[in-house]
Amino acid sequence: MELSYIQNSVSVEGVQYSNDGTVTVNLSDNRKLKLAQEKWSELGQPLNKKLSDKEQKVLEQESCFTLIQDKMLSFLARREHSAEELRRKIKQNSSIFKIVDSSELIERCLLEMQEKGFQSDDRFTRQYVESKLANKPHGPLKILAGLFNRGISRELANLVLNELGNQELWLKKSIEWLKKIQKKGKNLTPQALSQKLYQQGFAWETIEKAVVIFHEMEKFPDER
């Protein structure tokens, strides 16, 4: 449904209540606006009367808010999202908000999602880090870059990463990655191996130790 410009001599011709807590408002210009029943009640349920420009604008805004809310809930039903991810995805769908400036409505909706526990940057960050640690080896620098790109603060990102990871873990992960490279039949120089680890986001201190340990393991395979 597209929102359209405020028109004169528009009235509410009917409403349909839904079990999901929303109401569809049928306007005399054939538009159908979906908004929360609570908001409809706050507006005084202006049925069968001409709407002022202000009343039309409020209806437009609340309908836009409901669209944003539905979109956010749909995204969150699939996986955890950071607040910034939701902002970007909603703005990518801005074609459905042709008239109403949705920026303030997005922030209002995000706040409501957070207050209800539907969205949490802390929960997203922990799940993101855990997934990266469980799958293809990712070093701390690459994980941090991914979190920053998703709008997670440096403070929160470092806090969670320090809780879930440590130097021993990063060293173990880096050696595992070198073993996987070796299994592919690639005989790389220490410099090339170091570069591979750097591309995966490992710190140089960890890389130097990993390459040395890995080559020692290759020299004495029976002692692995």
User: Does the pTM exceed 0.85?
Assistant: no
What Rg value do the Cα atoms of the chain yield, rounded?
A: 27
Q: In which residue are the tokens 């970007």 written?
A: 88
In a structure prediction context, what are the per-residue pLDDT tens digits for the chain, which is 224 residues long?
444 444 557 888 889 999 988 999 999 888 899 999 988 888 776 777 788 888 888 888 899 999 999 999 999 999 999 999 999 999 887 665 555 678 899 999 999 999 999 999 999 999 999 999 988 789 999 999 999 999 999 999 999 999 998 999 999 999 999 988 887 766 778 899 999 999 999 999 999 999 999 988 766 455 54
- Residue 213 has a pLDDT of 92
The rounded distance, in Å, linking the Cα atoms of 74 and 204 is: 41
Distances (CA, A) of 175 to 10, 31, 33, 145, 146: 69, 62, 58, 21, 22
- The pair of structure tokens assigned to 94 is 């801005």
Q: Which amino acid is at 150?
A: R
- Residue 6 has a pLDDT of 45
The rounded distance, in Å, linking the Cα atoms of 210 and 172 is: 8
The rounded distance, in Å, linking the Cα atoms of 46 and 61 is: 16
**Cα angle 87, 89, 94; round to 5:** 90
